[in-house]
Amino acid sequence: MYLDPPYYPAGGYADFKRYTKEFFYEEDHIELRDEFCRLADIGCFVILTNSNTDFVRRLYDGFDYEAVDSRRNISCNASTRTGQDLIVFSKEVRQSKPTQLILFSGRLLEHFPGTRYMGSKYRLLPFIWECVKDLEFSSVLDAFSGSACVSYMFRQYERRVISNDFLHFAYHFAKALIENSEVHLDENDIDLLIQPNPKAGNFITETFRGLYFNEKENRFLDSLVANIELLKNQFKKSLALSAISRACMKRRARGIFTFIGDRYDDGRRDMRISLQQHFLENIKAFNAAVFNNGHNNMSLNCNVFDLKENVDLVYMDPPYYTPNSDNDYTRRYHFIEGLVRNWKGVEIQYNTKTKKIRRYETPFISKDTVHDAFDKLFAKFRESILVVSYSSNSIPNKADMAGMLKKYKKNVRVYQVEHLYSFGTHNHKVDNNAKRVREFVFVAT
Ligand SMILES: C[S@@+](CC[C@H](N)C(=O)[O-])C[C@H]1O[C@@H](n2cnc3c(N)ncnc32)[C@H](O)[C@@H]1O
């Protein structure tokens, strides 16, 4: 397969150039790179051309590439020959330089409905697995499960998995995909879910008018919330809530709710299809991801410090504290969190433009409390193997983190990999989302 996308501009996307006619930006290049990896994984020989820029070289780090003078820049006058093309080949991967791209196996998560969830480890899973695969463990606690992709990976490797997150929608992702091993939404359920419900209220239509979705979509949501209540089976409820959570993220530019209106709408397919269409597509995706791994897995919805689980290995991926970052999950995803709770037991801050809910307190997002929080966490789970994900530009730093683990465990190993977050974990500016950091995995035994 030959892929010839709009070229990444030599000077990056300066703001004034952002709205290029192709509507193809950094995040699209990152998405295309993922597709390139997926195709390579399933055995397709892919050739891709792009500009020979630092950004593109980093994207395809690990694959073979060649730089050639650009056709359009060929000129008899060498001084005007400014640009080069990069040709990337999916075969003959350079083994000497392993990166997460080489380790990535599309098959591992063939069915997982990936999200653009902030801080998701989706693309780092093969790296994480490499760090733990030689340890002996049969049960895992994914203490901050988020999108549930790490839990899903452990589940695929036939471990007994307990997922936990204090956000309700994250709990439903795990209930649908980790605890559930056989229930699907069938045609009758889907019919029931999408039909207009005359008894539904109009809370969403009235409260969020003009903020995130259009009038018809808001009415669809009001009706859907009422219909989900009619489902008797808890796993069906979680599948439906997961499908609508992911639909809302996909239908929304940038997948977040920190701004109102549609100023980042770039016309891509996700922006053009209706919320109902997204919902239907996501039901399919979640249904397809359900499988049985032979264990009694579980999804919990607790503050991490209230957990009482006893497992062989605890994986900890809390929000990363960095001085300038926005790592407040409630702020980014307040609408989805409110939706899955039907705004029960949450406090809407009506004075805010976004009508967000009051945030859930967590010590991991403040400099003053983050050290103590880790210490408490490590003490709490000291009987288990401790595995922590953290990044290079965060506090505590690598040495501090290793030192804290050493207090409770004999051996501490640190693994690291370069990682390009496609989605604003490390910068609060919504229009500057691709950030390269060193990602650490600490393994303490
Ligand atoms: C970095 S994300 C986890 C991402 C996840 N590993 C993935 O790959 O999608 C951190 C998660 O921690 C959760 N969280 C933050 N503080 C928490 C607490 N005190 N108790 C439980 N969960 C918490 C957040 O809701 C968020 O989903």
Backbone angles phi, psi at 86, to 5 degrees: -115, 130
In DSSP terms, 164 is beta-bridged to 300
> Which residue shows structure tokens 């599309």?
106
Task: State the Cα–Cα distance between residues 80 and 75, nearest whole angstrom.
Answer: 7
**What distance in angstroms lies between residue 142's CA and the mean position of ligand 1's atoms?**
9
Predicted confidence at residue 290, as pLDDT, reads 94
CB 291 within 8 A of CB 182: no
Task: State the Cα–Cα distance between residues 100 and 92, nearest whole angstrom.
Answer: 16
Mutate to test the pocket of ligand 1, among 142, 153, 165, 177 (most ligand atoms within 8 A of CB): 165
CB 165 within 8 A of CB 171: yes
> Which residue shows structure tokens 């295309």?
32
Every domain of the chain and the residues it spans: 2-96
* 8-state DSSP, 261: S
Smallest CA separation from ligand 1 atom 13, residue: 144
User: Of all atoms in ligand 1, which is nearest to the CA of residue 149?
Assistant: 8
Does the Cβ of 304 fall within 6 Å of ligand 1?
Answer: yes
Distances (CA, A) of 217 to 220, 245, 256, 266, 382: 5, 14, 17, 19, 48
pLDDT in tens, 34-62: 899 888 888 888 999 998 888 898 888 87
Predicted confidence at residue 95, as pLDDT, reads 39
Task: State the Cα–Cα distance between residues 424 and 300, nearest whole angstrom.
Answer: 26
Does the Cβ of 170 fall within 6 Å of ligand 1?
Answer: yes
CB atoms within 10 A of CB 226: 16
Q: What is the mean pLDDT of residues 80-95?
A: 65
- Mean pLDDT estimate for the chain: 86
CB 426 within 8 A of CB 393: yes
Q: Tell me the whole-structure pTM to 2 decimals.
A: 0.77
CB atoms within 10 A of CB 46: 18
* 8-state DSSP, 43: T
pLDDT in tens, 374-422: 999 999 999 999 999 998 889 999 999 999 999 999 999 999 887 766 5
CB atoms within 10 A of CB 23: 12
- Continuous H helices in 8-98: 26-41, 54-59
- Specify the CATH number for 2-96; select among 3.40.50.300, 3.40.50.150, 3.60.15.10, 3.40.462.10: 3.40.50.150
**What distance in angstroms lies between residue 357's CA and the mean position of ligand 1's atoms?**
17
211 in helix, strand or coil?
Answer: coil
Does the Cβ of 117 fall within 6 Å of ligand 1?
Answer: yes
pLDDT in tens, 204-253: 999 999 999 999 999 999 999 999 999 999 999 999 999 999 999 999 98
**What distance in angstroms lies between residue 100's CA and the mean position of ligand 1's atoms?**
22
pLDDT(15) > 50: no
Task: State the Cα–Cα distance between residues 390 and 363, nearest whole angstrom.
Answer: 15
Predicted confidence at residue 126, as pLDDT, reads 85
Predicted confidence at residue 265, as pLDDT, reads 78
